[in-house]
Structure formats: C-alpha cells, structure tokens
C-alpha cells in the first residue's frame, strides 16, 4: 500500500518541482502517470512523435505549435520536469497568495500566461509578432478555408488594431494591452480535479 509515496520518490527533485509549479503531490503523481503513459518506449523522455500520438492533439489546427512549446530550441526531447513546468502555466491562479515583489513571478500568473501565449505567435523569439508570424498562425487555423487575400487582410486589420507604436509588429506590451479585458485566468487555465 502507499503507491503515491513510492511514485513521488521515483521523481528526482520533486520538492523543488512542487514549489516552483505549485502542483500538489497528488497532481504530480497523476502527471507522472500520464508522462509514463505517453512515453511508450520507456526512455524517460518524450519526443515530438509521442505527443503526435495523441489523437485529439493531432486534430488541433495548432497542434504542432503546442507540441513545439514543450521543446526548447534545438532540443529534441523533454523530460518530466520541463513537461510539468510547461503545464504549470495553465494552472488556475492562486487567489490567496499575496503579491510579493521580491519573489519571482509565479508561473501561472496572468503575465506569465500571456507571455506563454505570446510565444505561441512569436516563434523566432525576437519579442515582436511580425506580420509574417501572424500570417503563419492564421494559416494553421484556417488552412484551406479562406483565400490568401483574406488571410492577409485579416492580418492587416489585426495589426492595425493592436499596433500602437506603428512599427508594423505587435510587441508584448501591445499584446497585453489589446487583451486587457479578457479573463485570461479563466480562458488559459485547466482545472485539475482534486
């Protein structure tokens, strides 16, 4: 009896991980089981094709980008710690925590979530969403359903609305401003059952 503790002890640095991400031990165990289930070849690391085997994800128009978010540039595998860290972005915000300016920004705060979403668009990580990058995302989400012209006009309109300093790209601040009324915590959170 007591397989929870034995699972937790299998994971190195689990205390640190829980501290950093805010997941409870129960969540960590569940995520570990999930990680192991996805890791079909039992290598302890996940590869893009392991994610690709998830059907619902393969169906998702931006599935490839989401998979890409797990892998740091140049890396081909992701270990359990990184897996959990990325998922931690989608934890609902902790309402009870006081704002402590000396502590680093928690990984699931509104700003962190927005930064994470920003990186979905900004693939070359230059801090701006260029017109080309926006077009790429639009193309993934709409593919064959609209013409190239329509895609371009949508991209133009979006940049027009959000771009305040008129440099034909959307910086993180402009991104944040244009989404200030959206309930990010609600829309970019996954509710883990207890």
Partner 1 sequence: MENSLKQRRGLQVWFSVMIGLIMIPAMFGLSLGVTSVYIQILVKILEWSTLRIQRGHRDRPTLPVPAPLPNGLIQREGGSMEHEMGELRRYRTQSISRGEFALSDSFYFYRKGLESIVDDQVTQRFSSEELVSWNLLTRTNHNFHYISLRLTVIWGLGVIIRYCVLFPLRITLAIIGLSWLVIGTSLVGFLPNRRVKNWLSELVHLMCYRICARGLSATIQYHNKNNKPQKGGICVANHTSPIDIVILANDGCYAMVGQSHSGLMGVIQRSMVRSCPHVWFERSEMRDRHAVTSRLRAHVAAKSNLPILIFPEGTCINNTSVMMFKKGSFEIGGTIYPVAIKYDPRFGDAFWNSAKYNMVSYLLRMMTSWAIVVNVWYLPPMTRQEGEDATKFANRVKSAIAHQGGLLDMAWDGSLKRDKVKEEFKEHQQKMYSSMVVGKKARTSQEPHTESTKR
Residue whose CB is less far from partner 1, 77 or 90: 90
Residue whose CB is less far from partner 1, 20 or 140: 140
How many C-beta atoms lie closer than 10 Å to residue 174's C-beta? 19
With b for 16 or more beta-carbon neighbours within 10 A and e for fewer, the 113-148 pattern comes to: bbbbbbeebbbeeeebbbbebbbbbbeeeeeeeeee
CA dihedral 134, 63, 35, 13 (to 10 degrees): 0
Residue whose CB is less far from partner 1, 164 or 182: 182
Residue whose CB is less far from partner 1, 17 or 31: 31
Residue whose CB is less far from partner 1, 100 or 180: 180
Tell me how far, at minimum, the Cβ of 121 lies from partner 1, in Å: 7
Tell me how far, at minimum, the Cβ of 66 lies from partner 1, in Å: 4
Tell me how far, at minimum, the Cβ of 83 lies from partner 1, in Å: 9
Tell me how far, at minimum, the Cβ of 86 lies from partner 1, in Å: 8
Beta strands at 169-171 and 128-130: parallel, antiparallel or unpaired: antiparallel
At 53, phi and psi to the nearest 5?
A: -75, -10
Interacting residues toward partner 1 by CB under 8 A: 1-5, 24-27, 29-31, 34, 37, 51-63, 66, 87, 90, 117, 120-121, 137-138, 141-147, 149-150, 153-154, 157-158, 162, 170, 175, 178-182, 184, 187-194
Which sign, positive or negative, has the C-alpha torsion 84, 89, 93, 97?
positive
Tell me how far, at minimum, the Cβ of 3 lies from partner 1, in Å: 6
């Amino acid at each position: 009896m007591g397989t929870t503790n034995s699972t937790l002890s299998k994971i190195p640095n689990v205390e640190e991980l829980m501290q950093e991400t805010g997941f409870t031990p129960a969540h960590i165990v569940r995520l570990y089981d999930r990680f192991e289930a996805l890791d079909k070849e039992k290598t302890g690391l996940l590869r893009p094709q392991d994610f690709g085997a998830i059907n619902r994800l393969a169906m998702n128009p931006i599935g490839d980008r989401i998979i890409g978010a797990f892998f740091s540039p140049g890396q081909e595998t992701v270990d359990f710690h990184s897996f959990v860290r990325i998922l931690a972005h989608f934890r609902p915000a902790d309402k009870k925590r006081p704002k402590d300016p000396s502590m680093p920004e928690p990984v699931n705060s509104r700003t962190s979530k927005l930064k994470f979403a920003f990186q979905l668009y900004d693939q070359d990580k230059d801090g701006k969403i260029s017109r080309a990058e926006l077009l790429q995302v639009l193309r993934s989400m709409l593919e064959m359903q609209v013409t190239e012209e329509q895609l371009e006009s949508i991209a133009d309109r979006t940049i027009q609305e959000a771009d305040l300093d008129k440099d034909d790209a959307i910086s993180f601040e402009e991104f944040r401003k244009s989404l200030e009324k959206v309930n990010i915590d609600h829309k970019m959170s996954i509710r883990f059952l207890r």
